[in-house]
Amino acid sequence: MSTIDLQALIPNNVGLNDNRQLQRALEHWQPAFLKWWEEMGPSDFNARDVYLRTAVGVDAGGWAQYGYTPMPDYRWGIFLADRQEGRKIGFGDFMGQDAWQDVPGEFRSTFRRLIVTQGDTEPASVEQQRLLGHTAPSLYDLRNLFQVNVEEGRHLWAMVYLLHAYFGRDGREEAEELLERHSGDPDKPRILGTFNEPMDNWLSFFMFTYFTDRDGKFQLKSLAESAFDPLSRTCQFMLTEEAHHMFVGETGVGRVIRRTLEVMKELDTDDWKKVREAGAIDLPTIQKFMNFWFSSSLDLFGSEASSNAANYFSNGIKGRPDETKFADHVETDTSMTIQVPDGKGGVKDETISVRNGINEVTRLEYVKDCNVGVTRWNMAVKRSGIPFEFKLPSIRFRRNVGAWAGLHTDPQGNPVTAAEFEAKKGEWLFSEDDLRFVKSLMQPVTQPGKMAAWIAPPDRGINAQPVEYEYVKL
């Protein structure tokens, strides 16, 4: 097992103390990170004590500690899952060879780009969520927001460590630029579209943590398969923290739905206007937010057919999520079918090699995983006896990347004309009015245990504390 140094300026289990040059470089980056946190992180709450979980090791049993800490004092550390002696490459053309402890020269720029792209999403989401603390529906939710934020900060540290440790001067420059691009900045935006979308309400936050953090889960799972062992081990440990982010999303959306169902029962109505008047979010509006964030997150997987993805797979750079689940780890001559536009307003099948289709394979695994929560939400609707069903839209709906980019379909994925889309858009995606309504509900609730009227309380608190625990000392 690795030795954990918690006393160091940068807590770590990578033996930073034995590598003075690397340690100095990271200690030099640290003040820039803290400055970024002050300027771009959660606004106005930096002096408050927050009940936070801090990673202190990588042991499955006891990897985290809980306690009050002001966010700028959070111990952002570098933790890699323990090294597996004799680990072999699990897929692609180098399958069965020893995993790499260093980056092979010919794949250096590819790995750097992948690490930078992953790294860029971490601070981006913190920037997107910067103002949400002012409108939290409860102290419990406020704490969860900040927990997600500090952990995304730690994920940035994880990627910056790799850049500094394995990519020399280029890596150090990339690490600086990770703090210079900003979400939604017209001149220097974040790399991926979803991470430049504004996030000005908590329904979006819950959808984002459910759908977009789950994209993160699948990217991390694919990178955890990498032949480059330090990247694999870094991502394995990040997944441990990521699980909580998706929990926040799933339970958050679930609680919004539960509250709406209660209101509908109380008023004995399915009239969305009455539901809104009672201060809850009507089910069709929740569906529209789902359509938006799900389709936006689908783009993050890239094009259906991609020679880059094939190159990553062939060379052991990035695999598929849970590679061991697949029967064939090499996919030399295998093919698969994808659906593409037929150019005449319809859909046709196209056969591509599995290697070219890795993005689509991963996307479909992601969709399956997204549906688990949707099924659970629908069970709550069913139990209430209200005739409504949430449904994820087709993977062809509202895409901006890949074969369906810029083409119009209905949520079932049937191609429609631009005029038809325009006419129906208000039923499928939230309008300015819908957004204004949701934003009007965003009033802070700061009394311990109390919830805003549009959301039900959680089933339990954090780390066995009661729901009414003072999770943030305001």
Q: What residues make contact with Fe ion under the rule CB under 5 A?
A: 122, 152, 155, 213, 216, 242, 245
Q: How far is the CB of 241 from Fe ion (least distance, A)?
A: 7
CB 41 within 8 A of CB 33: no
Q: How far is the CB of 251 from Fe ion (least distance, A)?
A: 15
CA dist., res. 220 & res. 231, Å (int): 10
For Fe ion, the closer of residues 246 and 467 by Cβ is: 246
For Fe ion, the closer of residues 219 and 356 by Cβ is: 219
Measured in degrees and rounded to the nearest 5, phi and psi for residue 182 equal -135, 145
CB 159 within 8 A of CB 115: yes
Q: How far is the CB of 147 from Fe ion (least distance, A)?
A: 10
Buried-exposed string 256-274: b where 16+ CB fall within 10 A, e elsewhere: bbbbbbebbeeeeeeebee
CA dist., res. 99 & res. 329, Å (int): 15
Q: What distance, in Å, lies between the first and last C-alpha atoms of the chain? A: 40
CB 302 within 8 A of CB 402: yes
For Fe ion, the closer of residues 149 and 295 by Cβ is: 149
Q: How far is the CB of 384 from Fe ion (least distance, A)?
A: 31
Q: How far is the CB of 215 from Fe ion (least distance, A)?
A: 10
For Fe ion, the closer of residues 76 and 100 by Cβ is: 76
CA dist., res. 83 & res. 164, Å (int): 19
For Fe ion, the closer of residues 247 and 390 by Cβ is: 247
Tokens of 48: 């408050």
For Fe ion, the closer of residues 155 and 276 by Cβ is: 155
CA dist., res. 413 & res. 410, Å (int): 5
CA dist., res. 44 & res. 462, Å (int): 23
Give me the amino acid identity at 414: N
Residues in the chain: 474
Q: How far is the CB of 220 from Fe ion (least distance, A)?
A: 8
Return the beta strands (E) in 80-222 as ranges.
none
For Fe ion, the closer of residues 247 and 272 by Cβ is: 247
Q: How far is the CB of 379 from Fe ion (least distance, A)?
A: 25
For Fe ion, the closer of residues 92 and 230 by Cβ is: 230
The alpha helices in 180-228, defined as continuous H runs, are 202-207, 213-224
Nearest to 229 by CA among 50, 83, 329: 83
CA dist., res. 161 & res. 143, Å (int): 27
For Fe ion, the closer of residues 115 and 261 by Cβ is: 115
Tokens of 128: 């997107």
CA dist., res. 53 & res. 144, Å (int): 10
Q: How far is the CB of 245 from Fe ion (least distance, A)?
A: 4
Q: How far is the CB of 262 from Fe ion (least distance, A)?
A: 29
